[in-house]
């Protein structure tokens, strides 16, 4: 049977070798709108990895449409750089597309030297906190012309197709939505009028590039904005696009302001493909499904089951550029999967940093892949088989060194399995398995259940040691720690410690929040249970919602700092905070625990002492670096580095990247 994922597909005469589409993602790698070598290297590697069609971008259409970290397409001076980008993609085996977009009210005046963002109406943006200027008819006509002129540059630069972004809460979707379009002229009011701006842009682009140049429109299948576009309205818009200028539709999900998680690990794989299916059933052009399609099997099933004609795999190809090639060669178990953590790809953008990746420390640094191997191979001992240790071992091996690993437990992965315990975080266990598979592929020797001591080091005689011993729970000095109802968060997450009905968690950082959500699931309906009861109409949807979110425990989260979850990444934090409320988890910030009592806790808040009753006290006050071997290593005279939590307690992202850097730095 033919693998549908690797069957060709044609969009307006353009034959694409497979059904894998790398969608446009803001990389933050442009400089003053210019296409940099960093961008070219990033996309060239993904083309080499086997993607059929690669869409770079987004690219700007005028100076109000983006910022200097976006690829520029609003002036002829950018054409040479765009040509280099298109050529690099094509020369490495993929077809090249460029996405055009206007941010509208999602742009920041900060990025535009104080100029006010523009939008269909002066409706403030929750994302930026700014109120845009309402566009005049002249502004509208000028923007339509700007899209057309930019599209002409895309074609002139040698790209094979152009995409226009018509979703996500950016300008075109702001015209489409009644939430942000309050106009009373021909561009506001009825759906027909609200569609006018987008359709005029697509018609102008079509005229600029000609009838035979593929035009893809990326649009929302659902805005997930209460009071915004309904799915039916978006379906009508899709039909208008498909019956006119558009040759294919790429179905996007949600606005940036939406309160439905879209790209993070709690979103099930392929969860939003139903939106692509709804539009595919209404139009006659190819439809591309997107969001959280991070493995070939999910992608394959969506195409085989007629949910979509192609699949957009963006962050999947950040994590593993060679994913398509591995899948086509039957090496799917060798893929390093995107785990939806958003720590490097999306969180970095809030910091005005370029895209990186927890799972792939080379993402954004593709030029380093050309670094030569060492001319003096060393014997390298890696102590610890967690994320940092495995990353370091892989890097040192790829540099040409002889590497061996020592892990005190019976498996590789370390705290990644702890991170995978809370609901919606199972992908972290996938990453542990992926890293372990990479170690296996390189045939790096691993010794399990082995504590490293002086005799072992003397026997092995390594030239360099990388200490990745990780961390252990930090225990605060509190009266009552020795009481029988006190347990550690790590033991709870590993199901090693039972908990009572009333649980108080000391520590409201990432581990405390994750432990609270883990315990909140106890006694709730699983996904399979909800579906069974729903399809058999055993209970009404509201009752099922309550039973899916109301567990059997009462949970209180106590944090000494003024806010809960300060060490959680921005992309995932809001969803986790939302879940704390949804599951009825109580929180006390700015609260100091004075003592643990047989009945529960004594806390101080605002100078007031309060007694809290609890059956179980969970310690989630943080971690401390495991540096027990440091004094021994200093006596050996062997060069060594501390990496991961052994160096500094931080995130999994930091562990992977510090391990990679340490492994690469050994000369």
Give pLDDT, residue 586. Answer: 97
Give pLDDT, residue 616. Answer: 98
Determine the CATH number of domain 478-621. 3.50.50.60
Contact (CB, 8 A) for 188 and 113: no
Mean pLDDT over residues 631-643, rounded? 96
Mean pLDDT over residues 231-252, rounded? 97
- Per-residue confidence at 61, pLDDT binned at 50, 70, 90? very high
Give pLDDT, residue 350. Answer: 83
Give pLDDT, residue 349. Answer: 83
655 three-class SS: helix
pLDDT digits (tens, 9 = 90+) for 404-431: 999 999 999 999 999 999 988 999 999 9
- Percent of the chain past pLDDT 90, that is, above it, reads 94
pLDDT digits (tens, 9 = 90+) for 458-509: 999 999 999 999 999 999 999 999 999 999 999 999 999 999 999 999 999 9
Q: Does domain 375-472+625-665 have CATH number 3.40.50.720?
A: yes
Please report which helix (H) or strand (E) contains residue 503, including its range: strand 502-506
Give pLDDT, residue 370. Answer: 66
Mean pLDDT over residues 298-316, rounded? 97
- pLDDT tops 90 at residue 127: no
Q: Which of 96, 25, 92, 30 is nearest to 317 (CA)?
A: 25
Provide the total of helices (H) and of strands (E) in the chain, helices listed first.
Answer: 22, 28
Q: Distance (Å, rounded) from C-alpha 534 to C-alpha 544? A: 8
Give pLDDT, residue 658. Answer: 97
Give pLDDT, residue 372. Answer: 78
Give pLDDT, residue 110. Answer: 85
Contact (CB, 8 A) for 522 and 616: no
Q: CATH fold of 4-367, please? A: TIM Barrel (3.20.20)
pLDDT digits (tens, 9 = 90+) for 90-101: 999 999 999 999
Q: What is the DSSP letter of 31?
A: B
- pLDDT tops 90 at residue 35: yes
**Same fold yes or no, 4-367 and 478-621:** no
- pLDDT tops 90 at residue 596: yes
Tokens 């992908």 correspond to 427
Mean pLDDT over residues 267-277, rounded? 95
Q: List the beta bridge partners of residue 59.
A: 71, 100
Give pLDDT, residue 516. Answer: 97
Q: Pseudo-torsion of CA 492, 495, 500, 505, nearest 10°?
A: 10
Please give the C-alpha separations between residue 218 and each of 86, 163, 601, in angstroms, as whole numbers: 20, 7, 54
Q: List the beta bridge partners of residue 222.
A: 253
**Mean pLDDT rounded to a whole number for the chain:** 96
- Percent of the chain past pLDDT 70, that is, above it, reads 100
- Per-residue confidence at 517, pLDDT binned at 50, 70, 90? very high
Give pLDDT, residue 241. Answer: 98
Mean pLDDT over residues 264-286, rounded? 95
Domain ranges, ordered by start, for the chain:
4-367, 375-472+625-665, 478-621
Helical segments of 538-590, H only: 541-549, 570-582
Give pLDDT, residue 330. Answer: 96
Give pLDDT, residue 162. Answer: 98
User: Diameter of the chain by CA atoms?
Assistant: 83
Q: Distance (Å, rounded) from C-alpha 196 to C-alpha 458? A: 76
- The mean-pLDDT minimum among 366-370, 511-515, 598-602, 661-665 falls in 366-370
Angle of the 137-156 helix axis to the 191-209 helix axis, nearest 10: 30
Q: Distance (Å, rounded) from C-alpha 270 to C-alpha 248? A: 20
Cis peptide before 322 (omega within 30 of 0): no
């Amino acid at each position: 049977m033919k693998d549908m994922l690797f069957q060709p597909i044609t969009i307006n005469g353009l034959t694409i070798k497979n059904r894998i589409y790398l969608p446009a993602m803001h990389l933050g790698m442009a400089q003053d709108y210019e296409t940099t070598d960093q961008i070219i290297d990033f996309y060239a590697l993904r083309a080499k990895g086997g993607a059929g069609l690669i869409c770079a971008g987004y690219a700007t259409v005028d100076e109000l449409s983006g910022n200097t970290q976006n690829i520029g397409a609003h002036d002829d001076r950018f054409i040479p750089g765009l040509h280099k980008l298109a050529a690099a993609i094509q020369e490495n085996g993929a077809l090249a597309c460029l996405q055009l977009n206007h941010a509208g009210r999602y742009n920041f005046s900060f990025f535009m030297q104080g100029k006010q963002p523009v939008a269909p109406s002066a409706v403030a943006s929750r994302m930026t906190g700014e109120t845009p200027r309402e566009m005049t008819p002249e502004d509208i006509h000028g923007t339509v012309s700007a899209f057309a002129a930019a599209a002409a540059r895309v074609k002139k630069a040698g790209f094979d197709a152009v995409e226009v972004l018509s979703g996500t809460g950016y300008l075109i979707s702001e015209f489409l939505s009644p939430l942000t379009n309050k106009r009373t002229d021909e561009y506001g009011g009825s759906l027909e009028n609200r569609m006018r701006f987008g359709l005029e842009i697509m018609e102008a682009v079509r005229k600029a590039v000609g009838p035979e140049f593929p035009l893809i429109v990326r649009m929302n299948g659902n805005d997930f904005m209460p009071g915004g576009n309904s799915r039916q309205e978006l379906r009508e818009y899709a039909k208008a696009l498909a019956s006119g200028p558009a040759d294919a539709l790429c179905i996007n999900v949600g606005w940036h302001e939406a309160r439905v998680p879209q790209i993070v690990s709690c979103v099930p794989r392929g969860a939003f493909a139903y939106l692509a299916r709804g539009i595919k059933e209404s139009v006659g052009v190819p439809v591309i499904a997107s969001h959280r399609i991070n493995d070939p099997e999910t992608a394959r099933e969506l195409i085989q089951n007629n949910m979509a004609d192609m699949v957009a795999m963006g962050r999947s190809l950040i994590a593993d550029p060679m994913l398509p090639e591995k899948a086509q060669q039957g090496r799917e178990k060798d893929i390093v999967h995107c785990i939806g953590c958003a720590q490097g790809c999306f969180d970095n953008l809030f910091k005005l940093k370029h895209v990186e990746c927890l799972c792939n420390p080379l993402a954004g640094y593709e030029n380093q892949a050309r670094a030569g191997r060492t001319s003096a191979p060393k014997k390298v001992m890696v102590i610890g088989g967690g994320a940092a240790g495995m990353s370091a071992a892989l890097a040192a091996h790829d540099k040409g060194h002889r590497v061996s690993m020592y892990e005190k437990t019976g498996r590789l992965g370390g705290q990644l399995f702890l991170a995978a315990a809370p609901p919606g975080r199972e992908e972290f266990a996938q990453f542990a398995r992926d890293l372990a598979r990479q170690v296996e592929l390189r045939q790096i020797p691993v010794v399990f259940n082995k504590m490293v001591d002086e005799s072992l080091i003397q026997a092995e005689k390594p030239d360099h040691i990388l200490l990745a011993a990780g961390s252990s729970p930090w225990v605060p000095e509190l009266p009552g720690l020795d009481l029988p109802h006190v347990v550690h968060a790590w033991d709870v997450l590993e199901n090693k410690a039972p908990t009572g009905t009333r649980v108080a968690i000391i520590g409201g950082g990432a581990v405390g929040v994750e432990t609270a959500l883990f315990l909140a699931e106890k006694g709730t309906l699983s996904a399979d249970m909800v579906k069974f009861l729903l399809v058999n109409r055993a209970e009404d949807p509201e009752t099922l919602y309550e039973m899916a979110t109301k567990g059997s425990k009462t949970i209180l989260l106590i944090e000494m700092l003024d806010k809960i979850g300060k060490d959680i990444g921005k992309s995932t934090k809001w969803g986790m905070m939302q879940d704390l409320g949804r599951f009825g988890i109580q929180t006390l910030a700015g609260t100091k625990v004075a003592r643990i009592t047989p009945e529960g806790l004594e806390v101080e808040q605002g100078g007031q002492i309060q007694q809290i009753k609890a059956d179980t006290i969970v310690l989630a006050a943080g971690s401390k670096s495991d540096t027990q071997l440091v004094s021994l290593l200093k006596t050996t005279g062997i060069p060594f580095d501390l990496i991961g939590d052994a160096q500094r307690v931080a995130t999994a992202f930091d562990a992977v990247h510090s391990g990679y850097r340490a492994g690469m730095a050994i000369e």
